[in-house]
Structure 1
């Protein structure tokens, strides 16, 4: 029996999973906290009179700006993250991005009580610091992920993002009702520091620089990765990348996915409470369920993709298109249904199903930069995520303007119409343009056994997992 989980590359993937979980917990905690910060509470005055008041008098439009402010900074450091990771190392940049955000999270309660504009400023800074993390992880995988395993390794790690929302929302609700909204930021800030200490001790930028890995695994990874990634310094072909249809497709499709994702991430707790009548704890728990289903389906999508490619049922291009189109089509359908099946069962059911099946699309989108140009995967994902961050800015603000009455079914239905239409557009665009084959401009000459230099056709590589050191002795 093969025990792949003892391999160091899978340990890296698991720790990256918890890293991404921290990233999304630090990002989404304000979505729950702001509900408690702005709701009417019964307050006893010194003279014994009880009155209802809000700690923060922020209207829906201002709340939209507060919730979207994270992405103002996030959008500007995506490409820089790819460069920094290439220079300093993917593991180092990924870890520093998370621990620095954790530090600012610890300061958030004090900042929020000082000024809403200072809160917006610190959220912009948090976004800038987190912006380097995803491109940094692409750079890390370009050294650690053998071609035949990249779908599952990237999917395992990436699913931590959505599991972070799963963990954060119910825990934030419980913390807010038990200890006050401030405890949300203190708790997740401390957790970020604990994770960083473990990451710093265990994970290295490359297998060759790792102190705790078997020599055979180093050789296996380096041999597999060297066929698609050369140590030679290569100038980034910016014009070619920006004109590439494959890069355009991955950018547009990721942007379509993030529109609905960020809309729900920022406003779902408020919708559950105001429209459906759940209390804060119930709203936090139910808001987490869509992301639990997504975290599972991202991993399922990654394992299915590797299986399909290993068996050669479909090409890489066909496999990526299949995941994106199926994911987008079902997301659009169930979000549309959610606008009409408005009930305490129907709405959560539709949204859990929609977001969960979106994991199939994400499992393809997260991997696609490694498909089309492994050498430039960090930079390409930086470009992808730069544009995919725009929905994180626009969607909360637009939703804030549309939904002026959070108890209005008609106003929420408009939000669902927009998201559904964007998913449909993304499915059509993917069908026409998505590519999974390594691009000709990204071919890296490598010497074969006869010393002859040739280009690698990445799509035809189907190496098997080498776990021979971990086979059970019989």
Structure 2
């Protein structure tokens, strides 16, 4: 059993296996990247001059539209007694410009994923991940200065963060493919990727508290500065593969290698395989992941990016209430993701369910439950606290995606897991670009429940498509094309030009295992 494998040799003695040190630090990395991404959604509420924006908006609207916007009833909720007036900041950014600033993160996110994945697969996922977090930290700390210069500076910082953020999932998929035994894949993937929800919780809570008490600039300085600690730990404690890790017991190293069927090679660089592009783009299981990722991401970004604005515009929460109400469900999401991943891994190890069934169950939770919740949200009007509960349930259930379709790339093709993740995540990123612009266009001068119903119904439709396609076409079985691709002649650094008997044996072993 994996639990009996000694952990001696790592920095925590016999407490934590080296593979779980990787998972925890990977989770913290995802927390940082996601936290630094979503903090703007909360901080922007304090950065904007809401009074000036409302006056400018009303001047451009017709009398009929203005009356509709200001009507209190089914289309507008009364402010809570604790709202205490509009919280005005220095920036007079229109709704379309706000949407552009929020969405431009994904411009950089789009362009970096595939190159980052190939570098991670062929050279070092560890250093790709380090670059990802480091550029996010630098851009976050520079955000107050650049945004005061011009909104263009703000856009540049967001694009820079997106470039770093784009390589996180591909790089971590590569590392998990090298470190996670198949029977622990759901659990380790959930630990790593659930960091996105933990980062969201911490970011929204910290951003609300910092902005409400010390000004919006403190959001970026404090959160960026604290994140620097991770960079030291990552360099010290993490390696690309178990074979390169000195802080690991030989028993654990052997256990991982045996589980994954890898050879005992101490190469500086990994053996390279060319991606079988034709097989990838004619693979039904790949397209099932692609569709699920695109549809799920639209709903994910809807809740992740736009939820603070829904709470502010429609339910009339003030910034401190907003931060608490929008962040706590991401904590329950993390808890749910741990429970469902551990349960599914246990059932798989006992032979109760297949990998395919495990992925489909988790993905169904992550799509069907939020779909129903959004449908309910369309019809409960201004029942503020009921709406908070419904949104909390929706966000919690999305945690199933971490051990659902998001882990599926490693199942069907572990040799190309980073590339597959880059492909599906790049396509799914379109939702991140489209959601803020779409919401901004629908709610411009019409910040009402009616407008948000339109937004929710579009999201519900995409969830229906995800459920149908993934349930019918999804698979957790390794595909035959995973073992295709070119293997280099001399894959071990430092071997002589004339092949030795040992080199030939290792090449044969590598080919058989792969």
| Structure 2 contact 313–447 (Cα < 8 Å) conserved | yes
Residue 377 (str. 1) matches residue 412 (str. 2): no
Q: Which residue of 2 aligns with 1:266?
A: 305
3-state SS in 2 of match to 1:345: helix
Residue 364 (str. 1) matches residue 374 (str. 2): no
Q: Which residue of 2 aligns with 1:280?
A: 319
What CA deviation, in whole Å up to 9, does each residue of 1:373-424 have, x standing for no partner?
A: 0000010001011011110001110010011246411011111111111111
| Structure 1 contact 229–374 (Cα < 8 Å) conserved | no
Q: 2:220 aligns with which of 185, 189, 193?
A: 185
**1:178 CA drift (Å):** 0.9
| Structure 1 contact 269–283 (Cα < 8 Å) conserved | yes
Which shifted more, 295-304 or 94-103? 295-304
Matches within 5 A, 1:38-57: 38-40=48-50, 54-57=89-92
| Structure 1 contact 299–363 (Cα < 8 Å) conserved | no
Matches within 5 A, 1:452-471: none
Matches within 5 A, 1:441-456: 441-443=481-483
Q: Which residue of 2 aligns with 1:34?
A: 44
Where structure 1 has 5 or more consecutive residues not aligned to the other structure, the ranges are 43-50, 457-474
| Structure 1 contact 142–229 (Cα < 8 Å) conserved | no
3-state SS in 1 of match to 2:384: coil
Which shifted more, 270-279 or 3-12? 3-12
Partner Cα distance (1:199, 1:376) in 2: 24
Q: 1:438 aligns with which of 439, 461, 478?
A: 478
**1:52 CA drift (Å):** 9.4
Q: 2:253 aligns with which of 207, 210, 218?
A: 218
Task: Give the direction of change, closer, same or farther, for the CA distance of 1:54–1:149 in structure 2 (3 Å limit).
Answer: closer
Partner Cα distance (2:409, 2:125) in 1: 16
| Structure 1 contact 229–444 (Cα < 8 Å) conserved | no
What CA deviation, in whole Å up to 9, does each residue of 1:355-381 have, x standing for no partner?
A: 111211332122101100000001000
Q: Which residue of 2 aligns with 1:175?
A: 210
Compute the TM-score of the two structures, normalised by the length of structure 2.
0.82
3-state SS in 1 of match to 2:351: coil
What CA deviation, in whole Å up to 9, does each residue of 1:186-215 have, x standing for no partner?
A: 111112211111111111111111121111
**1:301 CA drift (Å):** 2.4
**1:303 CA drift (Å):** 1.1
Residue 394 (str. 1) matches residue 394 (str. 2): no
**1:441 CA drift (Å):** 1.0
Q: 1:25 aligns with which of 35, 57, 81?
A: 35
**1:153 CA drift (Å):** 0.7
| Structure 2 contact 50–88 (Cα < 8 Å) conserved | yes
**1:68 CA drift (Å):** 0.6
Q: Which residue of 1 aligns with 2:387?
A: 347
Partner Cα distance (1:412, 1:229) in 2: 56
Partner Cα distance (1:451, 1:408) in 2: 64
Q: 1:137 aligns with which of 172, 187, 194?
A: 172
| Structure 1 contact 373–439 (Cα < 8 Å) conserved | yes
Q: Which residue of 1 aligns with 2:352?
A: 313
Q: 1:98 aligns with which of 133, 136, 141?
A: 133
Partner Cα distance (1:160, 1:53) in 2: 32
| Structure 1 contact 228–444 (Cα < 8 Å) conserved | no
**1:129 CA drift (Å):** 1.6
Residue 153 (str. 1) matches residue 188 (str. 2): yes
Q: What do you get for the CA RMSD once the two structures are aligned?
A: 2.5
**1:35 CA drift (Å):** 0.5
Residue 15 (str. 1) matches residue 15 (str. 2): no
3-state SS in 2 of match to 1:20: helix
Residue 297 (str. 1) matches residue 340 (str. 2): no
Partner Cα distance (1:63, 1:331) in 2: 26
Q: 1:79 aligns with which of 111, 114, 136?
A: 114
Partner Cα distance (2:279, 2:46) in 1: 49
Partner Cα distance (1:200, 1:124) in 2: 25
Q: Which residue of 2 aligns with 1:462?
A: none
3-state SS in 1 of match to 2:92: coil
Q: 1:201 aligns with which of 229, 236, 249?
A: 236
Q: Which residue of 2 aligns with 1:416?
A: 456
